[in-house]
Amino acid sequence: MAVLRLSFPPRLSRSWLTLGAAGAATAALAVLVGPQIVAQIAGDRGIAPIASTGDFEVSGIAVNVQGTSAADARAKGWQEAEKLAWQKLWKTNGLGGGEAPALDPATLDGMVAAVVVEQEQIGPHRYIARLGVTFDRARTGGYLGMHGQVARSAPLLIIPVLYEGGVASVYETRTPWQRAWAEFHTGESAIDYVRPNGGGADSLLLTEGQLTRRSRNWWRLVLDEFGAADVIMPIARLTREFPGGPIHGTFTARHGPDNRFIGQFELTAPSDDQLPQMLADAVHRLDALYTQALQQGALAPDPSLNMAPQLDPKLINQILDSLGPVRQATPGAAPVAGVPVPGAPAAAPGAGAPATFTVQVATADGAALDAGLAAVRGVAGVQGAATTSVAIGGTSVLRVTFAGDLEGLAAGLRAQGWKVTQGANALSIRK
């Protein structure tokens, strides 16, 4: 018997790549690691999320009605679905729950914006279907007693991880778990979801390995790419009893760069045909878990992801008090070069007009990037340091604003134990 052997290129074991701008992702990655990465991000692998509005959506309404004809049975089925959906909507969003107030068919039909056919069977005189009903928020909110705005969470980036057959995938391929989140109507939820479409460089930036990262600088770069303040990780584990048989799913809600546990539950689909419906139900239950966590204050953005410096006003006042009162110069007297002004602080040695330099740092991993940033910011006279390009496993580039010359910046880094190579308005450092 002939044996077919397939040879695959070696994987990038935790050699993650991110970019300062999403538009330059493909070109920069191709330069860093060659055409292998271009092949990994090429092709149509993304699923665009559906546009979500603030309307109320009720899904999974089962109807089984008869009529004088197929069209009459279908019209009666849709009318019955509107009544059942209104009762279900009232129990979840109405004043105090309980039984929904009776509405005449014309009023109820005027509140409905759309009827979504999830599955239907049409006979000569019978209509069997599972439908979804969308209620217009403006025309329905008054009946539900809703007025004003509902508090929503900060923008949260979604990384939907699927474990199936011993393989973890996010956006490397199109998965039913990714599709379930892309088709989820987020307008009614209290969670402000940021849903990538999974195309382009998303399959490299957002992977299962990202869940184990703790570097706040790395997370901040990733979140800035998508305009998010924090991250949530809905995880699905699917196991099959046998091909075509029942599928058992374990679904876990996690949150934040520290991968904190929110909740977990299990569902079962009788067959492959019922898998999309099970995943859709799981998405709604996970949304409920995240909403509950938001109400309990457990879904607040991690403060360590905020890279803006937080200055204590009390500390500032103590420093100003220790300097004492500042003597004012004589009105009209111009300062003379080389003559210190009374009460003015002495200038730091080597300080001058701020200049911008480029610093290249060898970054074997995320910790090396953090160490390089900390070292540059620790040099006296550095007024700012920001990453312009990150290459884990290669060389990252920093833009540094320094009050002094390039030699002074190099001397400060050498004093910290770094090996510094000086070039034209740039430095290259490594441990």
Return the pLDDT at 106: 82
Tell me the chain's radius of gyration from C-alpha atoms: 30
Return the pLDDT at 234: 95
Return the pLDDT at 73: 92
d(CA 15, CA 393): 6
Return the pLDDT at 5: 40
d(CA 423, CA 10): 35
171-197 burial: b if 16+ Cβ within 10 Å, else e: bbeebbbbbbbbebbbebbbbebbbbe
Return the pLDDT at 343: 46
Return the pLDDT at 269: 93
Return the pLDDT at 18: 37
The amino acid occupying position 91 is K
Return the pLDDT at 303: 78
Return the pLDDT at 295: 87
Instruction: Write out the chain's pLDDT in tens, 431 residues.
Output: 343 443 334 333 333 333 344 444 444 444 444 444 455 555 566 777 776 666 777 888 999 999 999 999 999 999 999 899 888 888 776 555 567 788 888 888 888 888 888 888 999 989 999 998 888 776 777 777 654 445 678 889 999 999 998 888 888 888 899 999 988 877 778 888 888 888 777 778 888 888 888 888 888 888 888 888 889 999 999 999 888 889 999 999 999 988 899 999 999 999 988 999 999 999 999 999 999 998 888 888 877 776 555 556 677 777 777 776 655 544 444 444 444 444 444 444 444 578 888 898 887 777 788 888 888 888 888 888 888 777 776 778 888 988 888 888 988 888 888 888 887 788 888 87
